[in-house]
Every structure is written in C-alpha cells, then in structure tokens.
C-alpha cells in the first residue's frame, strides 16, 4: 500500500509500505503512486514531495513474482498495454510535476526503485544503501526509463556497466558517480532529508517548479526553443507573489519569506 501524509509545511510524503517484501511495488501501489502524483500536479498546497519506503528498504523493484504466479500466461501484448498507464506513467510524473521531489533511500533501491531515485530532483541515500538494475540477471530487458535516465545521470560507460553487467552500486558510490544528490551515514539519513525538505518547502514554489520544468525540457530542446521556454517561465515567475517578496527582501536586506504563491 501507499501511505500518503501531508504536513503544514506543504510536504506531501508518499511512503511505500510493504516492508515484508522490501516495498516491492505491486499493481495497487503503482496505481496509488500515479494517482497521488497526478493529484499533486494541481494541488496548490503541495510544495515538496517526498518518496520513502517503510522499514529497512526503499524499494526492491516491481513485484514480478506476484504478477507471474500460477500457470496461466498473460494474453499476448499485456506488457505493452500495461506499462504506459503504470511504470511508464509514473516516472514522467516524477520528472514533470512542478514541485521538487526528494527521494530517501535506505537498504535496497532496485529496478523501478532505482528509477524513482534517478527521476527525483534530489535523492539522499545511506552510505550502505544498494542500487541495482536487476533486469538482465533475470533474463529480461529494462523498463521504467532505466536506459533513458542512467546515461543522463552517470554517462554511457557507467550506465552500460550497471545495466549489462548488473553491478550493484553502494549509496556512497552512487553519490560519487552523480547518480544521486548525496549519501550520508545511516544514522544521519532522516535529519539530512528533513533539512533539505524544509529548505525546499520554504522556497519560491512557482519559480522552483518552473526551473525544474526548464531543466527537464532543456535536456532535448534546441537552443531557440529553450530560450523561448526561458522567456515563458520568466514571464510566469515574475508575476508570482514570491517574486514580489524576493524583491522586497532584497530592498530591505532581510531573508525572504516565501509562501509558495
């Protein structure tokens, strides 16, 4: 199941809660994540989204065992019909929702768990967390944007090592490779994530969301199109209340008090 909480800072927390299965994502959880993120796209009270797992692990991947139990084989084409509305809907939502997404990783982040960490704007992991792309070791090909995200985060050579050889990557190495934002001692993980989330929740939400959009669109846009996008984003952000507050704070030589509007 997905446990959804929303605090008075505007922090929406989505917790994967199947600790006995390393929080492997089944169909119910997939739909819960997609629904929660879709709703967050239009919920103006949300200023930050946190993805976390219950217990000792973040996410052990998709629950392929449950999906393939029994003797009955799925109808031909079931995977290509299911993925666009499940995993292949989930990852774009994380990338495109116009508030920062912070992923907190302890224990395993395998398969789609790894992809959620890669797609998030910030991922902080324990030093001893384990990131893994298990696909070829199980005899099938990657999904959930693994082959799109990894080369962009760590480069083609390291992506091939992780995807084709199935190397397991410790949290401290994932940070060194640039796959995630930071890695900390296990006992410091909660505080490190909370500090980052608090900073983001107090930020200019409109400007942060539009900057996130620019970074995502700019990865593939020609320069002329991207400059038009920057002009569009600047037009919108400069009409926000937080922009006025930022100018007032600058004039008055004080820290800004952004309200996310």
CATH of the domain at 59: 3.90.226.10
- pLDDT at residue 137 in the model: 86
- pLDDT at residue 86 in the model: 79
- pLDDT at residue 87 in the model: 82
- pLDDT at residue 63 in the model: 79
CA distance 24 to 30: 10
For residue 260, is it within any domain? no
Please check whether residues 20 and 48 belong to one and the same domain.
Answer: yes
Please check whether residues 65 and 117 belong to one and the same domain.
Answer: yes
Please check whether residues 153 and 88 belong to one and the same domain.
Answer: yes
Please check whether residues 172 and 222 belong to one and the same domain.
Answer: no
- pLDDT at residue 140 in the model: 87
Please check whether residues 226 and 180 belong to one and the same domain.
Answer: no
Letter string b/e over residues 9-34, b meaning 16 or more CB atoms within 10 A of that residue's CB? ebbbbbbbebeebbbbbbeebbebbb
For residue 248, is it within any domain? yes
Please check whether residues 40 and 62 belong to one and the same domain.
Answer: yes
Please check whether residues 85 and 51 belong to one and the same domain.
Answer: yes
For residue 258, is it within any domain? no
CA distance 169 to 182: 14
Global pTM?
0.93
What residue ranges of the chain have pLDDT lower than 70? 64-74, 76-80, 82-83, 85
Range of 140's domain? Answer: 2-201
Domains contained in the chain, number? 2
Please check whether residues 118 and 222 belong to one and the same domain.
Answer: no
């Amino acid at each position: 199941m997905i446990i959804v909480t929303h605090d008075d800072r505007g922090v929406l927390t989505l917790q994967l809660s199947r600790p006995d299965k390393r929080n492997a994502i089944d169909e119910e959880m997939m739909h819960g994540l997609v629904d929660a993120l879709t709703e967050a796209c239009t919920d103006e009270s949300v200023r930050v989204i946190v993805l976390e797992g219950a217990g000792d692990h973040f996410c052990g991947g998709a629950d392929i065992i449950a999906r393939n139990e029994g003797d009955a084989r799925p109808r031909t084409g079931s995977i290509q019909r299911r993925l666009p509305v499940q995993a292949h809907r989930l990852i774009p939502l994380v990338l495109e929702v116009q508030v920062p997404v912070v992923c907190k990783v302890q224990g395993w982040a395998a398969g789609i768990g790894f992809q959620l960490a890669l797609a998030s704007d910030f991922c902080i992991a324990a030093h001893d967390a384990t990131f893994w792309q298990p696909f070829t070791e199980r005899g099938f090909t990657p999904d959930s944007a693994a082959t799109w995200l990894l080369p962009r985060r760590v480069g083609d050579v390291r992506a091939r090592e992780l995807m084709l050889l199935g190397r397991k990557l410790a949290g401290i190495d994932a940070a060194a490779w640039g796959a995630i934002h930071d890695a900390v001692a296990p006992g410091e993980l909660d505080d490190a994530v909370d500090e980052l989330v608090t900073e983001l929740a107090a930020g200019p939400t409109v400007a942060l969301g539009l900057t996130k959009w620019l970074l995502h669109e700019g990865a593939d846009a020609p320069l002329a199109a991207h400059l038009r996008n920057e002009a569009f984003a600047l037009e919108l952000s400069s009409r926000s209340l937080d922009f006025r507050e930022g100018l007032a704070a600058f004039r008055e030589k004080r820290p800004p008090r952004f309200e996310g509007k």
